[in-house]
Chains A and B, each alone.
Chain A
Amino acid sequence: MKIINKIQTAKLLGRGGAEFPVAFKWLSVAKGHLKEFNQPVYVICNGAEGEPGMFKDGFILQNYPELVIEGIKIAMDELGADKAYIYLRSDYLKKFKNILKKQIGKLPIELTAEKIGYLGGEETTLLETIEGDRPEPRLKPPYPTDFGLFGCPTLINNVETFYEIAKIVRGEYENKRFYCISGDAPKKGVYELPIDMSIGEILKTTKNVPRFEYFVQQGGGAAGEILTQEELNHPVRGAGSIIIHNLQKTDTRKLIKKWVDFFFAYNCGKCVPCREGLYRLKEMLDGGEEIDMVLLRVVLRTMRDTSFCPLGKSVYLPIDSMLESVKVIYKNKRDKKML
């Protein structure tokens, strides 16, 4: 419990994008274990990192594999897990297999491949994948902390989260996180900076303030929110990604289409709003015709409000914030023909 207290004191939030309090998750697993004491406990390190504009987990695995393994080991000891999995997107698995194996040594930690991209990183889809079932999200509740892998209490944390746990236990945690800066940024890359630094500050510190007019997508290159130059005085929300878009060079319709194509390619087909909504969004954007904005918004809202899992729910935010930003940027000039 001492370690969970330390994590709690550090106020560590999950670094996979959902920003769930880590200590709370660990406690839930511990409680789940108490309920079913005979059952094994599993620890899973999620390195699926499937969103465009996200590459910090790869960076961490490349540069700090020992800290990641140390974090996993701490979790296993603390929660009484007999086995852990490191779940990696296939190119990461190829690239870091040897580095990780060296660090793992004889520990009961297995490397396993993510199979379908993007949605594969969603935690219940991850469980189905490891169990060998059709990779699709599960109904929640029950939550993985209670009823996870093979029905056992399971801790699923992101690569970066395990890195931070090792730092916390070592007493080296500095309230920092990793940011991926990409797009039309002059100095693309991964930067470790304070968690409460504003986006504007981050761009300044990393010498990434463009000389051209621009806007930003923060929190992931598909599901992230669009912010205008005037909206950068708060920290990054969600996944640690900042993508800079050159205003002059960006065709907003093409950009939206790119997101929709991305979600379309990775939706699993389980629920109506996501499967059918994405099909219709794609249909609207694929054609050259003017888009029925009312219909577009109705479909997006229905997806946000009724989709089964985060994939379908998250299509709304980038498109809506893009449309709102366009209004501001072009001062309503193109309102009628926004796309």
Chain B
Amino acid sequence: MRKVTIKIDGKKIECAEGKSILHVAQENGFYIPSLCDHPDLQVKANCRMCVVKIKGRNGLFTSCSTPVEDGMEITTEDREIRRSRKTNLELIFGEHHLDCDNCTWNKRCGMLQYQKPVRAKITRFPNRKEKRPSKQFGPIIFEGKKCIDCRNCVEVCPVEYYEIENRGSDISIEPSKSKDKDCVYCGQCVVHCPAGAIKSDGEFEEMEKVLALKKVEKILVAQFAPSIRTSIGEEFGMPYGSIATDKLSAALKKLGFDYVFDTSVGADFTTTEEAGEAVERILAGKDLPIFTSCCPSWVKYVEFYHPEFRKNISHARSPQMMLASLVKNYFAPKQNIDPKNIVMVSIMPCTAKKYEASRPELNFGNGLKPIDYVWTTRELARVLMNKKIDLKTIKESPADNPLGDPSGAGVIYGASGGVMESALRTAYYRLFGRDLEKVDFEQVRGEDGVKRATIKLCKPVTFGADKCVELRVAVVNGLKNAKIILDELKTDPKKYQFVEVMACPGGCIGGGGQPLPTTEDIRQKRALSLYQIDKTKKIRLAHQNPQVQQVYKEFLKDKKITKAMFEVDFVPQKKSEIKIKK
């Protein structure tokens, strides 16, 4: 792209032509307030907060929608600009219910950030939306009285579940009443809302209740997802991508959890099962391609929107469910604990995991729920803060054994392509009875929306290099792109043998339960750190994890137990109810 030279507040800057003034300014350390702008989304220019002046042109221009041109001289702030922004911000506060203690933004939203320096009067206009109800669908709650009408949710939703109703100041964003549309609970609307108007069920209310269960002699057990170790630090002011695995275990212990396990170990089991199933099905040519099953939004998407592909979903339970199975059925008896006394709390980067944990198909034969509570990364961060536990300074301690030490494969589950890569590593073993020498599959990594690859797995030379298996795989990053692959499969059912889909951009590291803000930059840093962990792990193959091997040897002795613990049949889904709360 052509380079141009512009001036921002007198400072000369060289940048790529066509970029927005806002993004060039932000990249160069200038602060321009903006609310509706999000690097993941189209330019809408609705909030009018990012106005600037351009030398030689009359009036103010929204910097988000104005591309830089050679020689442009931009003023990012003066009295007039400040007055306009301040008034617009006060008008926005006039349609926003303040509830900063219970907000996904944790007091770091763009509104407060600009309000402070210009001393905008939050109560200049009383909230005109105070009487608007909240609506809940699955675990997602949309609070009408907080919505500032920016429409980010409408655009980001992969299933077009949000609709714009009415006009003018009566405009409202509504969950679709259509029978043919349902929310898949991915929570991308939550992490793209600049006003914290969307959250997941339980957010910031349920945690104390759970911790109090300790007093009635319950055993509190926590598990934390792969992707959280490189994201939760953000809530405590640590740099993006900070690795906090052992700090996380330490903090959970300090919070009162009796045992802390790592969901990445659950992922190692999922890999072992899923790779086994994949190899079986591929060799038999049955129900191909096999779809990954660990993203509950993707599973619900197939069940609701494309039930014809239901048979393709792997029967393997997701990592959090597998780990919970083992905690209540393997670990508990070993420790002489009644599984009914265990309160299993799962810390997830995800809002849909709350829904997954509530699915009756996943309960054990005796009706016991594998997981009792799911907290988002944000919820855990909040309860830690409330208890004055600072992740930054806490002394590290590792998770408990025998379900606390994952392979590298289990850790990369948190990034798009990670499930596929882990499965390929183990599939190789299943195919040839040997382990891979080079375990990295770079083709399936990264932030591309659809990653297609033909992976050639060959028997090692020393073993007779004649036998190769070619696997046609696709990795879908972001549910919006899933339709592309499904359409391809409709015209050519044999196009792929193995498909990974993660509903959230970047995979779980960009999940709907993660800290705000989330952008491609931030997601990349979170993902890179996961790959960093993988690289430094001695054991990088799921099936090689000694804890996995031990459990198979001690507990999963026959197919029947394995099936009960680790498998599930997914069922068609009907449209979920929209509950209206005053």
Bound together: yes
Interface residues of chain A, those whose CB is within 8 Å of chain B, are: 116, 134, 139, 264-273, 275-280, 298-299, 301-302, 305-308
Within the assembled complex, what's the spacing in Å between the Cα atoms of A271 and B169?
10
How many chain B residues touch the partner (CB < 8 A)? Answer: 32
10 tightest Cβ-Cβ pairs between the two chains A and B: A269-B171, A276-B91, A302-B87, A279-B169, A306-B48, A267-B168, A269-B168, A306-B84, A302-B84, A305-B60
Residue of A nearest to B89 (CB): A272
Having A275-B149, A276-B169, one finds 5 other A-B pairs with CB under 8 Å, namely A267-B168, A268-B168, A276-B88, A276-B91, A298-B87
Residue of A264, A266, A272, A278 near B92 (CB, 8 A) is A272
A299 and B95 alpha carbons, distance in the complex (Å): 15
Provide the B78-93 mask, 1 if CB < 8 A to any CB of A, else 0: 0010011001100110
B582–chain A nearest beta-carbon distance, Å = 23
* Cβ A301 vs Cβ B83 within 8 A: yes
Residues of chain B lying within 8 A (CB to CB) of residue A299? 87, 91
Within 8 A of A (CB), among B130-166: 148-149, 164, 166
Contact yes or no, A269 B169, CB < 8 A: yes
A267, A278, A302: the one contacting B88 at CB < 8 Å is: A302
Q: Given contacts A268-B168, A269-B170, is CB(A305)–CB(B84) below 8 Å?
A: yes
Residues of A contacting B51 in the complex (Cβ-Cβ under 8 angstroms): 305-306
B441 contacts A by Cβ under 8 Å: no
Q: Is B8 in contact with chain A by the CB < 8 A criterion?
A: no
CB-CB under 8 A for A272 and B47, given A280-B91, A280-B125? yes
CB-CB < 8 A to B39: which residues of A? none
Q: Are B169 and A278 in contact (CB under 8 A)?
A: yes
Say whether B167 faces chain A, with CB atoms less than 8 Å apart: yes
The reply to whether the CB of B506 lies closer than 8 angstroms to some CB of chain A is no
A280 to B84, CA, bound (A): 15
Q: Is the CB of B91 within 8 A of A273?
A: yes
Selected A-B contacts with CB under 8 Å, 9 pairs? A271-B47, A272-B91, A276-B125, A276-B169, A280-B125, A301-B87, A305-B60, A306-B88, A308-B48
A139 and B168: CB pair below 8 A? no
Determine whether the beta carbon of B88 is less than 8 Å from that of A269.
no
CB <8 Å contact, B46 and A270: yes
Contact B46 A271 (CB under 8 A): yes
Assess the B169–A275 pair: CB atoms within 8 A: yes
In the bound complex, CA of A333 to CA of B92 (Å): 36
Task: State whether A279 touches B128 (Cβ < 8 A).
Answer: yes
- Say yes or no: is B59 at the interface (Cβ < 8 Å to chain A): yes
Q: Which residues of B contact A267 (CB under 8 A)?
A: 167-169
Do B48 and A273 touch across chains, with their CB atoms under 8 A apart? yes
Chain A residues within 8 Å of B45, by CB: 139, 271, 308
A-B contact count (CB 8 A): 87
Q: Identify A278's interface contact among B49, B95, B125, B168, CB under 8 A.
A: B168
How far apart sit A271 and B94, CA to CA, in the bound complex (Å)?
14
In the complex, what residues of B have CB within 8 A of residue A298's CB? 83, 87
Given the known A-B contacts A139-B43, A308-B48, are A276 and B83 also in contact in the complex, defined by CB atoms under 8 Å?
no
List of A residues within 8 angstroms of B46 by Cβ: 270-272, 308
How far, in Å, is A139 (CB) from chain B's closest CB? 5
Q: Is B65 among interface residues, defined by CB-CB distance under 8 A?
A: yes
How many angstroms between the C-alpha atoms of A308 and B51 in the bound complex?
A: 11
User: Are A276 and B65 also in contact (CB < 8 A) when A305-B80, A306-B60, A308-B45 are?
Assistant: no
CB distance from A320 to the nearest CB of B (A): 16
CA distance A273 to B50 in the complex (A): 13
- Whether B60 contacts A276 by the Cβ 8 Å rule is no
Cβ of B572 to closest chain A Cβ, rounded Å:
32
Contacts of B169 in A (CB 8 A): 264, 267, 269, 275-276, 278-279
- 8 Å CB contact of A302 from B83, B95, B166: B83
Do A269 and B48 touch across chains, with their CB atoms under 8 A apart?
A: no
Cβ contacts under 8 Å, A271 to chain B: 45-48
Residues on the A chain within 8 Å of B62, using CB: 306
Closest to B94 in A: A276
Most buried by B among A265, A268, A305: A305
Most chain A CB within a 10 A radius of its CB, from B87, B125, B149, B171: B87
B171 and A275 form a contact (CB under 8 A): yes
Q: Which chain A residues lie closer than 8 Å to B148 at the CB level?
A: 272
Known: A139-B43, A305-B51, A306-B88. A264 touches B168 (CB 8 A): yes
- Determine the distance from Cα of A308 to Cα of B149 in the docked complex, in whole angstroms: 14
| A-side contacts of B43, CB under 8 Å | 139
- In the complex, residue of chain B having the shortest beta-carbon distance to the beta carbon of A277: B91
Once the chains bind, are A265 and B91 in contact (CB under 8 Å)?
no
Min Cβ gap A271→B in Å is 5
Question: A116 contacts which of B48, B80, B167, B171 (Cβ < 8 Å)?
Answer: B167
**Interface 1/0 per residue, B158-202 and A, CB below 8 Å:** 000000101111110000000000000000000000000000000
With the chains together, A297 CA to B88 CA distance in Å?
A: 13
Q: Which residues of A contact B168 (CB under 8 A)?
A: 264-269, 275, 278
Nearest chain A residue, comparing its CB with the CB of B125: A280
| Nearest-neighbor residue (CB-CB) of A266 within chain B | B168
Chain B window 211-231, contacts with chain A (Cβ cutoff 8 Å), 1 for yes, 0 for no: 000000000000000000000
The CA-CA distance from A111 to B84 in the complex, in Å, is 41
Q: Which residues of B contact A308 (CB under 8 A)?
A: 45-46, 48
Pick from B128, B164, B169 the residue with the most CB of A within 10 Å.
Answer: B169
Instruction: List the A side residues contacting B95 at CB < 8 Å.
Output: 276
| B149 engages A273 (CB within 8 Å) | no
The answer for the CA separation of A306 and B91 in the assembled complex, in Å, is 13
**CB-defined contacts of B65 to chain A, threshold 8 Å:** 139
Question: Which residues from B are CB-within-8-Å of A307?
Answer: 48
B167 → chain A closest CB, angstroms: 5
In the bound complex, residues from chain A placing their C-beta under 8 Å from that of B87 are: 273, 298-299, 301-302
Q: From known contacts A301-B83, A305-B84, infer whether A280 and B94 are also in contact, taking CB-CB under 8 Å.
A: yes
A264: chain B residues within 8 A (beta carbon):
168-169
Expressed in whole angstroms, the Cα–Cα distance for A276 and B147 within the complex equals 13
Chain A residues with CB under 8 A of B92: 272, 276
User: Which partner residue on chain A sits nearest B93 by CB separation?
Assistant: A276
